[in-house]
Structure 1
């Protein structure tokens, strides 16, 4: 690859192709993806350039639905595909990189062997295969990427373990949660307020930083929920992954206190929980720095911010069923109660599927 092209590809943000590299506005106007790709002939255009064209054409698109994907997904998918083709040369031993349109089973088999040797986690392998299936769809080859077993993967190497096998909550690691959060509040009120929100409502880290303690609080009538679902007069609206909204009732003193504390921290009614002097990236970095300063890492206290989310969701299950979940060794409730509680936990977490509660609670057990 020419040095100029390499510098151009490395200079832009991941998942995007620089305009000066491809001249989209002039050269691509009015052309279909097939017509655009035809300009980059196999054997003539460098494989990495063809990959960048594919990313520019398709990376923003969902592989199954008529919608765009998040910037994180675009970034992760682009980074993986670039690394995949580098590793074909560096790790799998292919002297010449294939044009992405000529990707075949020998390339896939070779890279799966690399993943096995690197002992990648099952969830990572599943994600990588999913990204490759997306690439295959862009190329019009939907059946290119076969099932994991076809490539010699054993079930333990690609099957995710959806149920929690250990309790990741803070209390399971003997942490005095309230005392620790109070210390953090004294050091950084923004991060402390975010942790209070996670503790009260099971928010994700990013959701807590983006939370607007005035603007996100609405009356029940503004939620669009059915009258029989009403649990409180006021709710908070959380916009989670994929833009999905969920409404959490302010039905406990802990939730009301967390929101009111956040309202006292922010500077104005439209403010979010990040420091207004910083952008989102810097606020998330600050969040991580503060937590690390207080030992909230796997290496030190054995906990993470996500573990506080686990704490809340586990507590919610126990409040609904009267018994701890399987991850804490609790006696199983009746199947009907277990299902309804898991659905409630899933919805509080911002998921649509009931099985999404398993990574927090453990897999359901049969009641005696």
Structure 2
């Protein structure tokens, strides 16, 4: 495929994605500094990347010669990217996104517009499992999409999440907000075993990993933009995914969850984390939600701070804490509200819940 730059995106502050020879997407971000390109070497702004200076002092005296000697050894595909960045001039590279899914550029053979009403089925751990998929309007197989798991609570079903029944908003209220995004979103709605996510011996993690593989082989997904959210057991399973698939999940939003009921295998990788919980939750106490939060405060390198205050009893208020000192791309936000075990809490005077707005605000910062 010939290079097909999206010229309209050149003027946008969001990442710029281009086709280069094949559906590989090059991501750049506007920056005010030039630290990401140092002496001809592509470097990372991530604090955990160690940068070792050259042992040859002549490299420091002649950075341009060093640039030429380094880049001449690079593969032709990388050279093409560097040449393009040079031509763009004002853009400084901070990341090369090479994670479009295998379904990019293909006509879907599995997922259709009816996949929100007709379940798709796969076999996982010798059990037939089912899930649903919601495509955005005007799905484009050439555009990498955000993917969001929306997981039901204990006793719930995927169909309830889709329809917005049993206390849920449809897809946890996210589609209307996602529709305004420049990155379109695919929603994946699986059914748990026995209406829950016990995740015995990790079987639900295995199932959801297989769902990812199946969907991404059929649809165009940005594999750097995978998310999960859910209420109660769905929150616990989203947390479990963050633990088990830490390098594969961009962020999770756990709404009134628990760290034990779906488990946490591994659990040492940093993952962007949003948590939400009620002060009077008698099903899954607030202390358990704090344990979930604390794992990712530690994993994400956030600064230690005293436990934030909780809203006054009877106030129907909320306290939102955005933690500081976290790894730049691994934020942690925690909301405590005056209320019980509910997926759609409201503040005083508000006609609708804040849960979907806070979740989307957290997810949409990643592009």
TM-score normalised to structure 1 length: 0.25
Which has the larger share of strand?
2
TM-score, normalised via structure 2 length: 0.25
Considering fraction of residues, name the structure with more helix. Answer: 1
